[in-house]
C-alpha cells in the first residue's frame, strides 16, 4: 500500500468497521456481507493505492515460505523505492522483539540491507515492523483475500469494488 492521504482517517474508518462487526478485519474470518462492507469502506477513503506482489503458482515443497517472502519483499522494496514520495515501508511484525520469532523480522531487515548495499533501494526508504493491532495492515489482508477469491472463481464481487485502486500487480516466477 502507498498512502498519499490522511492515514489517520483511514485508520479510524477501519477501526470503526472492526468495532461495528465485533472482530478484526481478517478477510478469511469475515462473512460475504462483511467483506463487501470492508471493500466499500476502502473504496470510499481517498489517498491510498495498492501494489500487489504474488507468485505465478503455488510453490513446491522444496521452496520455503521464507524464500518466497524474501523474493517478494526484494521485488516490493525495489519497486516501491522507485515511487516518488515513498519513504517508509511498514511490514507486519512476525515476532515481538526478544522472542524466537523476532528472527523472522531480522530476515526482512537483512533483505532490505542487502538491497541497500546493492543500490536497489533508495537511501530515503526505511522499513519498520508494526504489530498486528495496526489497522492499516488489515488492508493488505483484505485486498489479497479478495484478489485470491476472484482468481480462484470463488467470488469476484469484493475485488471488483477496489480493483480500481490496485495500481500494480507483479507476478514473480518462483524457481
User: What residues of the chain score a pLDDT lower than 70?
Assistant: 57-63, 174-175
- Which DSSP state fits 173? P
Query: Cell match 474508518: residue?
Result: 13
| Amino acid 1: pLDDT | 73
| Amino acid 59: pLDDT | 64
Phi-psi region of 94 (alpha: psi -120 to 50; beta: other; left: phi over 0): alpha
Tell me the CA distances in angstroms from 9 to 13, 47, 107, 141, one per residue in order: 6, 10, 32, 19
| Amino acid 112: pLDDT | 95
CA distance 102 to 165: 32
Contact 155, 20 (CB under 8 A): no
* Domains with residue ranges and CATH for the chain: 2-172 (3.30.420)
Does pTM top 0.85 for this prediction?
no
Query: Cell match 522494496: residue?
Result: 77
| Amino acid 27: pLDDT | 96
| Amino acid 145: pLDDT | 95
Amino acid at each position: 500500500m502507498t498512502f498519499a492521504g490522511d492515514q489517520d482517517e483511514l485508520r479510524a474508518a477501519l477501526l470503526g468497521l472492526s468495532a461495528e462487526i465485533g472482530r478484526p478485519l481478517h478477510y478469511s474470518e469475515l462473512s460475504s456481507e462483511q467483506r463487501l462492507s470492508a471493500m466499500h469502506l476502502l473504496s470510499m477513503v481517498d489517498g491510498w493505492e495498492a501494489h500487489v506482489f504474488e507468485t505465478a503458482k503455488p510453490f513446491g515443497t522444496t521452496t520455503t515460505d521464507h524464500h518466497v517472502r524474501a523474493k517478494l519483499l526484494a521485488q516490493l522494496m525495489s519497486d516501491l523505492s522507485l515511487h516518488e514520495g515513498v519513504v517508509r515501508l511498514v511490514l507486519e511484525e512476525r515476532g515481538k522483539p526478544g522472542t524466537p520469532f523476532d528472527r523472522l523480522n531480522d530476515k526482512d531487515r537483512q533483505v532490505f540491507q542487502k538491497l541497500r548495499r546493492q543500490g536497489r533501494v533508495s537511501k530515503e526508504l526505511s522499513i519498520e515492523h508494526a504489530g498486528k493491532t495496526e489497522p492499516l495492515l488489515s488492508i493488505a489482508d483484505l485486498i489479497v483475500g479478495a484478489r485470491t477469491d476472484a482468481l480462484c472463481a470463488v467470488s469476484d464481487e469484493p475485488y471488483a469494488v477496489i480493483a480500481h485502486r490496485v495500481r500494480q500487480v507483479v507476478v514473480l516466477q518462483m524457481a
